Amino acid sequence: MGGGVRERTSVEVRRLTSDDAGALVAFFATVPEGDRTFFKEDITQPGTVAGWVADPQHRNIALVDGLIVGYAAVLKGVAWSSHVGEIRIVVSPTHRGLGIGRLLAQRAVVEAKELGLVKLMVELVAGHDRLLAMFTGLGFVQEGRLRAHVRTASGDTRDLLVLAHFVDELAAMILPAATDASDGPADPRGTPSH
């Protein structure tokens, strides 16, 4: 992962627009199947991408020389998790290790704040220590480990790590006041803060 390559690569990160639909479908076609399943939606279907570009808020793309090489979304939770967002990032295999994933993750944290989210989470396949270090460097803390939760194309299983980041510590402190007092004191984080 040479720092020189990072310096020489000029990356633009910007909001997805409706004009990007075709290019985004083409980008996802370059993503290996094993990485695509991480999305939990069939991202090769134009209908999936059409839905995203119709609602591009908090979806960003990374471009190198005008070509899409990365995508990141902050998906807002619903109902009792409406204060929680989940980030999904994918970078083209041809452009990994250049710092693009990190750029997209940083943007996602900023967007989570803009969305008014208190907590941001991300799921990572276990065993990628430097990737884990990147997320912990951004303030994420491991909250869970789901054993043998991911099955690879070859049939092997991997653990799935659930990481979370309290993007708005102030809101997190205020949140218990909004819960039913009969439930007793509540810590929305459930685990000691970092």
Ligand X SMILES: CC(C)(COP(=O)(O)OP(=O)(O)OC[C@H]1O[C@@H](n2cnc3c(N)ncnc32)[C@H](O)[C@@H]1OP(=O)(O)O)[C@@H](O)C(=O)NCCC(=O)NCCS
Residues that bind ligand X (CB under 6 A): 1, 35, 38, 87-91, 96-102, 122, 124, 128, 130-131, 134
CB nearer to ligand X: pick between 145 and 187: 145
Question: How far apart are alpha carbons 35 and 37 in whole angstroms?
Answer: 6
Question: How far apart are alpha carbons 157 and 147 in whole angstroms?
Answer: 9
Tokens standing for residue 17: 């627009």
- Minimum separation from the CB atom of position 100 to ligand X (A): 4
CB nearer to ligand X: pick between 127 and 179: 127
- Minimum separation from the CB atom of position 177 to ligand X (A): 32
- Minimum separation from the CB atom of position 59 to ligand X (A): 14
Residue with tokens 């204060």: 83
Rg (CA), the chain: 18
Residue nearest to ligand X (CB): 101
Cα–Cα distances (Å) from 135 to 15, 158, 164, in that order, read: 22, 19, 9
- Minimum separation from the CB atom of position 147 to ligand X (A): 18
